[in-house]
Copies of this chain bind each other. A is one copy, B any other.
Amino acid sequence: MDLDIKIESILFFKGEPVAIKKLAQILNVSEPEISDALKVLEEKLQDRGVCLMQKDDSVMLGTTPSSSELIESIIKEDLNKDLGKAGLETLSIILYRGPIRRSEIDYIRGVNSQFVLRHLLIRGLIEKEIDAKDQRVILYKPTFELMSYLGIKKLEELPEFSEVRKEIENFNAINKEDDETQENKSEQTLSEN
């Protein structure tokens, strides 16, 4: 039985995000093989009632966005669709610039974001991640729940997503040069006096 079929069964049964590493472990194959099989599954799900969502290295099945109205008509509890200005601003920064630390969010927004971040965490729209480079630093990133509310299967489906990522890379590159020149300059002045 092809790998993509087994993966779909697992994702359907689980009904929640599953890490690619976990799939590889369960199915006893390498992670690249899982990724290839996921492409096959994604292909098969073209114009189907179900779609494959992918974020970082986890995947999940969901109803296709075009069925949104249909499904909303049969669910009872009301969905919290409103987002205050602070919430919208903060989510946009995290979506386009995430994973990102709180001090950077405060820097961009010019305000303290502690309260709105906690609010978004509790609603499950963002999640915390420990910065691999520095254990003490907490980074904030989007969740599958947020992607579900936006109706996107991948972050790349956000308008201008790749342009913005490039803008950030260039911006950081220039800053890194500035910092380096700054450092050499301060070393120079150190050695001078």
Residues of A at the B interface (CB closer than 8 Å) are 1-2, 4-16, 26-27, 41, 44, 47-50, 61, 63-64, 66-67, 70-71, 73-74, 77, 84, 86, 103, 106-107, 110-112, 114-115, 118, 121-124, 127-128, 136, 143, 145, 182, 186
Asked whether, in the complex, the Cβ of B112 is within 8 Å of the Cβ of A9, the reply is no
Chain B hits for A84, CB < 8 A: 186
Could you tell me the distance between the alpha carbons of A110 and B127 in the complex, rounded to whole angstroms? Answer: 10
Determine how close the nearest CB of chain B comes to the CB of A70; give it in whole angstroms: 6
- Report copies per complex: 2
A13-B111 contact in complex given A48-B44, A49-B5, A49-B6, C-beta closer than 8 Å:
no
Interface residues of chain A: helix, strand, loop or mixed (majority):
helix
Could you tell me the distance between the alpha carbons of A127 and B115 in the complex, rounded to whole angstroms? Answer: 14
Which chain B residue lies CB-closest to A8?
B49
Chain B hits for A71, CB < 8 A: 9-10, 13
Could you tell me the distance between the alpha carbons of A41 and B115 in the complex, rounded to whole angstroms? Answer: 24
